[in-house]
Chain A
Amino acid sequence: MELADLSAHELLDLISKKEISPQDVVKSCIDRIEKYEPLIKAYLSIRDPEEVINSVREDAPYSAIPIAIKDNILVKGLPNTCASKILSNFIAPYNATVIERLNEKAFNIIGKTNLDEFAMGSSTENSAFGPTRNPWDLERVPGGSSGGSAASVAVGSAIWALGSDTGGSIRQPASFCGVVGLKPTYGTVSRYGLVAFASSLDQIGPITKDVTDCALLYSFISGHDPNDSTSLNVEPYRYSPLTGDIKGMKIGLIKELLAEGVDPSVEKCIRDAIKTFQDLGAIVEEVSLPHISYSVPTYYILAPAEASSNLARFDGVRYGFRASGKTAEEMMSNTRGEGFGPEVKRRIMLGTYVLSAGYYEAFYLKALKFRNLIAGDFKKAFENFDVLISPTSPILPFKLGEKVENPLEMYLSDICTIPINLAGLPAISIPCGFVGNLPVGLQIIGPTFSESKLFEVAYGFEQATPFHKKRPQLGGNSYGV
């Protein structure tokens, strides 16, 4: 095992014991970039290696642990493309609040990672700059939209990363890449400086190698931000060492999410996970969430509606790519026509349609009602259960190009993660098994602000299983367990 294969807390431990030097960790990640980035293409921009090494400070332990940032979170002075032609020349003029928080701890940003354009997609294939590949199988997608962040952590070109999650964009790629990903409670992590896709659903969250790292990173980025009006002024999460004690806990298995459409090999991994929880002394029972099957249609009305408005600002007038045109209107129209990719255009059109006069009540308002019903289902379930579980994705990582021609099928594959965003709840995806060489993720869902409980449940599972220790084997270099 090389340093780049270790988790942040393991590395911090070694550094504090002076067994390794902080620069060694950074060099190990840079090494991985040189070796594997041409195959994986996890990054859209990488900072100058010299600069990254020079950013290491003896008095700031986190400066030794390179972090990758999804390219829709603004880092002052670095490009912020959102994987779109329309922002291909855009350099962030200010820091997102989460970056300000990381800067307080002198976090060392190694690069900005690939995504589906404007975070719209589940495979990172909708990137204007080419897809990212899954480190476990280069023929397959890493998931999306935070595919670059998940792949960078899996391959060790970063020790940890930040992603954003609107309908599963952290959890699904974490699942596909065999790493840990958290979608926090809506309002606990500031969205200021995250390029908005769907404002009422977007949350930034950590992608890490294990649950401890996830809890640590979450503790740094969460907390009230006066610059984000939807940020909640609640007691912030504080990290304390996890115990993993889940004895007597009541876990609900969401019946509807382990029904038809779930790959049998995925289902088997989930059944095994249930057994693990039972062995750890938890009680697992099935629970029904009757409205959850409406999640995908509800989401594909609300998210595009907000996106159609959020993405209106990309018009070539003030920044970004500008096409030519005889009039201002023509220039704006050409800029958007040439600057956006097909999936983004599809969602803008969808969103524009559902907000139009005559359709607003039939679509948008109805979807809002269903959103409330779905949230109500969860609320009721949490009267009887501490946490709920489901697969993170009903399917295994699929091959590049396999679903490009069938967007609807791609949308449906987000059935397990979408309802959580609609209800504003926290959920974590952790590795729970492998099918051949392909990782499978387990999703653990909690009530609002229950992140600490999620970490305990996930940590208990992690301690009882070997999956988080497994690393992908690439290019004949075997450095797995």
Chain B
Amino acid sequence: MEYEVNIGIEIHAELLTKSKVFCSCPVQFGAPPNTLTCPVCLGLPGALPVLNKRAVEYAILTALALNCKVNRNAIFHRKNYFYPDLPKNYQISQYDTPIGIQGYLEIETSNGRKRIRIRRVHLEEDTGKLIHSGGRITGSDMSFIDFNRSGVPLLEIVSEPDISSPEEAKEYLTNIRDILVFLGVCDGKMEEGSMRCEANVSIRPKGSEKLGTKTELKNINSFRAVERALQYEIERQIDIVSKGKEVIQETRHWDEKNERTVGMRSKEEAHDYRYFPEPDLVPLEIDDEWIERLRAQIPELPEEKYERYKNLGLTPYEAKLLAHDLELSIFFDETIKLYSNPKNVANWLLVDVTKELKDRNKVITQTLITPQLMTELLTLIDEGRISGRIAKEILPELIDKGSSPRKIIEEKNLVQITDVSQLTSVIEQVLKENASVVEEYKKGKEKSFMFLVGQVMKLTRGKANPKLVNDLLKKALG
């Protein structure tokens, strides 16, 4: 039997606000445990929440970017459950009136473009973090709690079960991540936990109307894990159903090490969160003017960039790579204001610059290269003053020191040699010193020609104009 898959994804994104969502403690990673706390985020008796306006704005921005309707009178609810990392033993969250509803995101799939509906975008507070001695909860005889994360604003983005494959899930997730990053509301680092994801999965016979029984996957901590966890779970479910058994509705944990999903105790399923309106906060009043002001702040998103880059003559592959990289695309856009060959810029950025950045584990804004320097470099090549090879050689100095390529080539005397008589004398020397190779060439060994070119380049320390060397050498060899 053929099955079709329904996947819904729930994303939690930590917002990059300066302070927490209900108090003025700073949002900051890596601080010593429990140093970023106050009576409010510790849930001390008598403490009261005060809503961070910026966090609401980030939520509205995201809702708008995901084509959601914005609830004018969104309110907060309390989600009640006991857990040691939850200081009040309730989480201030949103229930039936979230900030954003009924949105969508379009993704590219192997069958063309597809619209994934987004059910809701809501704002809530993060919990503290449990640290178990020995690193694991089982067998640990002591646990610690770090409340630095408690009260960090979290955005929850819930999709409808419109995703039909692990590949689509990954595409959806990376698209959301890129939108959040481009909006500047989240750094999107799944591995560091600033963006977290849960997925519900079900299968049903192809053509069937009713959704199958779903399982909920947790502990998916990387983009790679999303695909693998879903693939595993789909195969597991198909295996169960094809044996005539039934899938049990449960929460399953992705075990990264053993690459499988494991069912969690069903006791943890029996939650009644007893939602009720948070009496310590007043309803939000979001007016049209505020919404429009925020809408105007939405920057060009990857999707639009992609289309624009294709129109500039980039290949879809180049356009996509560049459009989804916030820093690189901004650099690209600045550079093409100064330099008229976008294709050339894209090529340099995506190949050579990207390689250098990877070696340094940095993004372009963390280095000293500027669009001006990039333009200077490309212009020097165009003018024939340096070869591409020299350009590649001096690129690290632009990146690490912000040096001007014009100055580098002057100081190091790297200007390309285009003087025919100078090159001719070098060639003569090479031919003299490599008489045997010349003989071989004349006997028909084509490779020998490249060796001789290499020798010329070596003697000129790479400065010889390669095309000129070719021509002159061919002439000299008759």
Contacts and interface: CB of A to CB of B under 8 A. Distances in A.
A194 B46 contact: yes
Nearest to A365: B276
A245 B114 CA distance: 75
B143 interface: yes
Given A229-B280, A355-B274, A329 B82 contact: yes
A227 B48 CA distance: 7
B272 A313 contact: no
Contacts of A352: 274
Interface stretch (A32-40, A195-203, A288-296, A402-410): A195-203
Interface string A202-230: 00000000000000000000000011111
B165 interface: no
A313 B45 contact: yes
Contact of A90 (B45, B50, B281): B45
Contacts of B82: 312, 315, 329, 332
A192 B274 contact: no
B274 A317 contact: no
B89 interface: yes
A309 interface: yes
A82 B42 CA distance: 19
A191 interface: yes
Contacts of B280: 196, 199, 229-230
B342 interface: no
B5 to A, nearest CB: 30
Contact of B78 (A195, A227, A309): A309
Given A315-B82, A318-B43, A318-B87, A191 B279 contact: no
B306 to A, nearest CB: 42
A87 B45 contact: yes
Given A200-B279, A312-B80, A329-B82, A195 B46 contact: yes
Contacts of A372: none
Nearest to B278: A199
A83 interface: no
Interface residues of A, number: 43
B51 interface: yes
A73 B45 CA distance: 9
A74 interface: yes
Nearest to A351: B274
Interface string B431-471: 00000000000000000000000000000000000000000
Interface stretch (A106-114, A252-260, A356-364, A437-445): A356-364
Contact of A309 (B47, B50, B80): B80
B44 interface: yes
Contact of B45 (A195, A315, A356): A195
B279 A364 contact: no
Interface string A323-354: 00000110010000000000000000000100
A479 interface: no
A239 interface: no
A415 interface: no
Interface residues of B, number: 29
A87 B45 CA distance: 10
Given A230-B282, A313-B89, A332-B82, A356 B274 contact: yes
Interface string B143-168: 10100000000000000000000000
A165 interface: no
Interface string B37-80: 00100111111111100000000000000000000000000101
A78 B43 CA distance: 19
A5 interface: no
Interface in B407-422: none
B46 A309 contact: no
Most-contacted residue by chain A among B46, B80, B88, B272 (CB, 10 A): B46
B47 A357 contact: no
A229 B281 contact: yes
B84 interface: yes
Contacts of A357: 272, 274
B84 A305 contact: no
Contact of A80 (B45, B49, B80, B275): B45
B269 to A, nearest CB: 14
Contacts of B348: none
B90 interface: yes
A352 B272 CA distance: 10
Contacts of B46: 73-74, 96, 191-196
B44 A229 contact: no
Q: Which 10 A/B pairs are nearest by Cβ-Cβ distance?
A: A312-B89, A355-B274, A199-B279, A200-B279, A193-B46, A195-B45, A313-B43, A313-B88, A357-B272, A328-B84
Interface of B: 39, 42-51, 78, 80, 82, 84, 87-90, 143, 145, 272, 274-276, 279-282
Interface of A: 73-74, 80, 82, 87, 90, 93-94, 96, 191-196, 198-200, 226-230, 305-306, 308-309, 312-315, 317-319, 328-329, 332, 352, 355-357, 360, 364
Given A193-B47, A313-B89, A318-B43, 14 more contacts: A74-B46, A93-B44, A192-B46, A192-B47, A199-B280, A229-B280, A230-B279, A230-B280, A313-B43, A328-B84, A355-B274, A356-B272, A356-B274, A360-B276
15 contacts: A80-B45, A82-B45, A90-B45, A93-B44, A191-B46, A198-B279, A229-B50, A306-B276, A309-B90, A312-B82, A317-B84, A318-B43, A332-B82, A355-B80, A355-B274
